[in-house]
Chains A and B, each alone.
Chain A
Amino acid sequence: MRLGTRHLWLAMATAPIVGFFALPILYLLAVSFKTKDDVLSGHFWPTVPTFANWPGAFEAADIDGFIFNSVAVSVFAGLLTIALTLPSSYAVLRLKIGGKWLADVALSSYMAPPIVALIPLFFLLKATGLLNTRAGLILVYGFANVPVAFWLLTPFLRRMPIEIEHAAAMDGAGPFRTLLQIVAPVIAPGIVATLIIVTVLSYNEFLFASAFTFSDATRTLPVGISLFQDDRLVNFGQMAAASLAGISPVYLIALFMQRYLVSGLAHGGVK
């Protein structure tokens, strides 16, 4: 009986929290099925749902092109980040190359706001002919997320038992083979979590993308959506549909990879 009331209290406290976090997404969903007049009604759900906004959004702007750019840029950038960070973080943490100062510099550079790199990277991309290209964005994200990836991989590398490397050394494996064939499989959950997080960070990024791309062929989805809403004749139903279309790849990843994500974030955050 006591347990019952306790659970009732907990449920009553939890419900508004869950409601608050679900609200904006549910409202986007509701608006995406509203007609232009219905949008002005102020009701939550559409009175008569319309399905015109979804195809309409894809006709009004190059949404599928933007999504393609976002996915391509973020996936390649994520892989680049892992390729750069895995050997170096292994070397710093397990082979004791570079030492404490390198770990400190990597973390401090994460603390600087990205606005610091905005202007210098603009000129660097311009000088190398990579301004307004997907390759330029891939390189920027791939490099810029290295400190975060370092920070996320650190606890996984640190907790790995030293015996694993000793055994590899006994078998005569060099450090690079040890990393690829023995260490990487052991810390695979950490690598997967890190890869997902840095990929999503690139997918969601707006500041660099808005300054470094200026044609529909290279724009990523957040930039595309931001232009959508600048439009004077903005159609809220279409904007909601376009936004949800852009969010869905990330939510699919969150749905299937949540186990990795929660552990990756939780381990990285606090000791």
Chain B
Amino acid sequence: MTVFAADALRLDETRLATRRSTLPARLSRALWIAPIMLALSVTTLYPTIFLLALAFSKSTLGRPFRGFVGMKHFAITLQDPLFLSAIGRSVAYALSTSLLQLALGFVIALLFSSLLKAGRFLMSLVLLPLMTPPVMVGVAWKLILAPAGGLLNGTLIKYGVISEPISFLGHPSLAWLAIAVADLWQWTPFIVILCFAALSTIPEGVHEAALVDGANAWQRFRHITLPLVAAPLSSIYLLKLILSFKLFDLVYILTFGGPGFATTSAGFSIYRRAIEQFDVGRAAAETIVYGLVIGLATLPVVRLHQHFERREA
């Protein structure tokens, strides 16, 4: 599944060159890719195998691998309503906020690209949210949303919209909204930059030809711009989706998963199980389940991307 997804993100292909070669030549060729193989082994291959082993054993953070427990951890995980709802929230959050940010980022990129020189200046300005450490993004939004003296409550009271301060982070759906707004602030600029790049690949002549044919602005957008950027847009969506499934820092700083478990994402839930409760066996099973769910959830987007690619070819 992930290999298909990699296909969608990849730029074009390299072919395996089959050559007959001597042993020293082979060794020196292998040496070239040894660094990346080492990095991938440490950060991907080893964690995957280790997680599988942990998931099937009785393990704590202090003492791992204390006996085989079979499918026990998976059975518990799949019957745990708290974890299943955390997964549900993570998937719903990723799919919806990524779509919203894609739409918003695309509109802003369209606006910036019509501003020409000023648009380029604005691009370097919107780079700043993207570069801001997520923990600090959380702190800034926490100050804005604070019930006592926060900017938003202060402003709403000043203009008489509300009379009592609202605890935005203490209310289940408002807390999610707060996380989504902070996320949107941080990541929409990235989407703007990518959409701007996708828009700038459209040749000038295409629009001029359509103008000559008497197409109006909406027709030019709908029948020329949109089809030409459909494939890049689907890969930008996929990229943002992957980033959204990693949601952790903002939850940690803004809500710590609360109120109750209302904003506990799957990643945050796994982190607490492993680092706070030391139950790494169960956390490993949860990670594997979450990984499979991400694969399943991104598959339709990967298929959509392949569809656009084929249509373009």
- Which A residues fall within an 8 A CB radius of B? 10, 13-14, 17-18, 20-25, 27-28, 31, 39-44, 83-85, 87-93, 95-124, 142-144, 146-147, 150-151, 154-155, 158, 175, 200, 203-204, 206-207, 210-211, 221-222, 225-226, 229, 236, 239-240, 243, 246-247, 250-251, 253-254, 258, 261-262, 265-267, 269-271
Contacts and interface: CB of A to CB of B under 8 A. Distances in A.
A42 B252 contact: no
Contacts of B131: 200, 204, 250-251, 253-254
Interface of B: 2-3, 5-7, 9-17, 29-30, 32-40, 42-44, 46-48, 50-51, 54, 61, 64, 108, 111-112, 114-115, 118, 122-129, 131-137, 139-144, 146, 148-151, 153-155, 157-158, 185, 189-190, 193-194, 196-198, 231-232, 235-236, 239, 242, 245-246, 248-249, 252-253, 267, 270-271, 274-275, 280, 283-284, 287, 290-291, 294, 298
Contact of B39 (A92, A121, A143, A246): A143
Contact of A207 (B118, B235, B271): B271
A269 B290 contact: no
Contacts of B137: 24
Given A96-B16, A115-B287, A267 B40 contact: no
Nearest to B235: A270
A147 B153 CA distance: 43
B142 A229 contact: yes
Given A31-B143, A103-B14, A158-B12, 15 more contacts: A21-B126, A40-B149, A42-B151, A42-B153, A98-B33, A99-B16, A100-B14, A122-B274, A146-B35, A204-B134, A207-B271, A222-B133, A222-B249, A250-B133, A271-B231
Q: Is the interface of B mostly helix, strand, loop or mixed?
A: helix
Contacts of A18: 122, 125
B246 A113 contact: yes
A88 B151 CA distance: 50
B109 to A, nearest CB: 11
A57 to B, nearest CB: 12
A18 B29 CA distance: 50
15 contacts: A14-B122, A24-B140, A88-B32, A96-B16, A99-B16, A100-B13, A109-B43, A117-B47, A119-B280, A143-B38, A206-B249, A207-B271, A229-B139, A261-B127, A270-B198
Contacts of B197: 266-267, 269-270
A87 B35 contact: yes
Interface-central residue, B15, B39, B108, B248, by most chain A CB under 10 Å: B39
B36 A119 contact: no
Given A118-B271, A119-B51, A20 B194 contact: no
B115 A14 contact: yes
List 9 tightest A-B contacts by C-beta distance, closest first. Answer: A42-B154, A99-B16, A266-B197, A88-B36, A91-B32, A24-B140, A270-B232, A40-B149, A146-B39
A269 B136 contact: no
Contacts of A210: 252
Contacts of B112: 14
B182 to A, nearest CB: 8
A266 B139 contact: no
A263 B38 CA distance: 29
Contacts of A269: 193-194, 197-198, 232, 235-236, 239
B241 to A, nearest CB: 9
A111 B296 CA distance: 13
Nearest to A237: B143
Contacts of A17: 108, 111
Contacts of B15: 96, 99-100
A117 B284 CA distance: 10
A225 B139 contact: yes
B32 A107 contact: no
Interface-central residue, A87, A119, A121, A243, by most chain B CB under 10 Å: A119
Given A100-B15, A109-B40, A243-B139, A120 B193 contact: no
A267 to B, nearest CB: 7
A221 to B, nearest CB: 7
A25 B140 contact: yes
Contacts of A87: 32, 35
B271 A115 contact: yes
B205 to A, nearest CB: 20
A113 B267 contact: yes
Interface-central residue, A112, A203, A265, by most chain B CB under 10 Å: A112
Contact of B33 (A44, A88, A204): A88
A42 B44 CA distance: 47
Contacts of A89: 36
Given A258-B124, A270-B194, A270-B232, A111 B283 contact: no
Contacts of B153: 42
A207 B247 CA distance: 10
